[in-house]
Chains A and B, each alone.
Chain A
Amino acid sequence: MIYVTILISAIFVNNIVLSQFLGICPFLGVSKKINTAIGMGMAVTFVMVLSSMVTFLLQKYILESLGIEFLQTITFILVIAALVQLVEIVLKKVSPALYQALGVFLPLITTNCAILGVAILIIQKNYSMVEGVVFAAASAIGFALALIIFAGLREHLDLQDVPKGMQGTPIALVVAGILALAFMGFAGIV
């Protein structure tokens, strides 16, 4: 039951983009077309689950047992950067089809603050390994969901007659705000 709570809370109630403000850069940057949004969503899901597992083990068995938790930020970001490179190399060799689909998005993920944010949140919330993985997967799904809905909205927005000063980023931000307002409707289910 606790897993269901974590799942629903991370996807809808505390959506990582629309209520926690993590990963805004890719949210605004790669949301012009639905296809690229789907690709980015999948790449983020993959890396987020993998990196949260690795950083969790690192925190529990190396940083905590040596009493050097203050090195958390440095270690996590380096591990995530290395992991993304590794995933890229492995994917290229093992599954060229998947690499074709996700390849372009992988380098962008290193500087996606959602990945580091979720890794740190799992430690802060004192989750167990399994809870952590469920939380990471749910957060990533929440990210993908928000990204895909937003991409759909922006495709429609292209056809609208937007006032000149509002074109581009300003109108996108206002639409994101309205979407965030809609997601606030989920508050209170969990």
Chain B
Amino acid sequence: MTIKENLLKGFFKENPVFVLLLGMCPTLATTSSAINGLGMGLATTFVLIMSNIVISLVKNLIPDKVRIPSFIVIIASFVTVVDLVMAGFLPDLHQSLGLFIPLIVVNCIVLGRAEAFASKNNPFNSMLDGISLGLGFSMALTILGSIREILGSGTVFGFDLSLFPLDDKGAPVTMLMFILAPGGFIVLGYLIALINRVRKV
């Protein structure tokens, strides 16, 4: 696999959300707005890159039988780093992502890449793999978040698009359902159907 292929696979061919269907919980839970989706995506990307590098560096030192617990400890350490840094510098984002920051530990993408890629490849390729999959994940979350934000509150990244008619009090009449739980499932369902359609053609 060339460097270019390795770097591009995460966006379309092996996109974690649309194609591999991994990491559904944060995908649905944190995409009520584009900025939350992007924040969650970048936090996961950081953990993915760092854990991929460290795991591929220490892969020969870890006995085969205890490799999964060891991987989990490495991943959990980086998640703690992200959690503390975000609480310190981006308190608002940290507040709105809430529980889902510590839950990056159990995100199948991170452990999946550690097991399937980083434990078999050199640190440089593992880093590229982390960047590729992480940014692919961020892209998917941002797209999903933007669609839900546009439909649900008529804005994208906080900019008002003035798409919806105003009511008596001057507030836009939006489809609130899309920023609540059901909207997440429905938008993701249609997006995956669309991607399947494009991939087959």
- Chain A residues within CB distance 8 Å of chain B: 18-25, 28, 70-74, 77-78, 81, 111-113, 116-117, 120-121, 124, 165-166, 169-174, 176-178, 180-181, 184
Compute how far the CA of A28 lies from the CA of B107 in the bound complex, rounded to whole angstroms: 15
A24 touches B25 (CB 8 A): yes
B185 interfacial by beta-carbon distance below 8 Å: yes
Q: In the assembled complex, which residues on chain A have CB atoms less than 8 Å from the CB atom of B108?
A: 25, 111
Compute how far the CA of A74 lies from the CA of B69 in the bound complex, rounded to whole angstroms: 11
- Known A-B contacts A113-B103, A116-B106, A184-B182; the reply to A73 vs B79 at CB < 8 A is yes
Compute how far the CA of A73 lies from the CA of B75 in the bound complex, rounded to whole angstroms: 10
Q: In the assembled complex, which residues on chain A have CB atoms less than 8 Å from the CB atom of B69?
A: 78, 81
B193 touches A181 (CB 8 A): no
Q: In the assembled complex, which residues on chain A have CB atoms less than 8 Å from the CB atom of B80?
A: 70-71, 73-74
Interface of B is mostly: helix
Q: In the assembled complex, which residues on chain A have CB atoms less than 8 Å from the CB atom of B91?
A: none
Count of chain B residues near A, Cβ 8 A = 39
A113 touches B106 (CB 8 A): yes
Rounded to whole Å, the gap between the CB of B80 and the closest CB of chain A is: 5
- Known A-B contacts A78-B69, A81-B72, A165-B197; the reply to A180 vs B181 at CB < 8 A is yes
Compute how far the CA of A117 lies from the CA of B77 in the bound complex, rounded to whole angstroms: 17
Across the two chains, which residue of chain A brings its CB closest to B197?
A: A165
- Known A-B contacts A117-B103, A166-B193, A177-B189; the reply to A74 vs B77 at CB < 8 A is yes
Q: In the assembled complex, which residues on chain A have CB atoms less than 8 Å from the CB atom of B99?
A: 117, 120-121, 124
Please report which residues of chain B, range 107-143, place their CB below 8 angstroms from some CB of chain A when the two chains form the complex: 107-108, 111
B182 touches A180 (CB 8 A): yes
Please report which residues of chain B, range 175-192, place their CB below 8 angstroms from some CB of chain A when the two chains form the complex: 177, 180-186, 188-190, 192
B25 touches A180 (CB 8 A): no
- Known A-B contacts A111-B106, A112-B106; the reply to A170 vs B190 at CB < 8 A is yes
Compute how far the CA of A143 lies from the CA of B114 in the bound complex, rounded to whole angstroms: 29
B111 touches A174 (CB 8 A): no
8 tightest Cβ-Cβ pairs between the two chains A and B: A173-B189, A177-B185, A21-B29, A177-B186, A170-B193, A24-B24, A174-B189, A181-B182
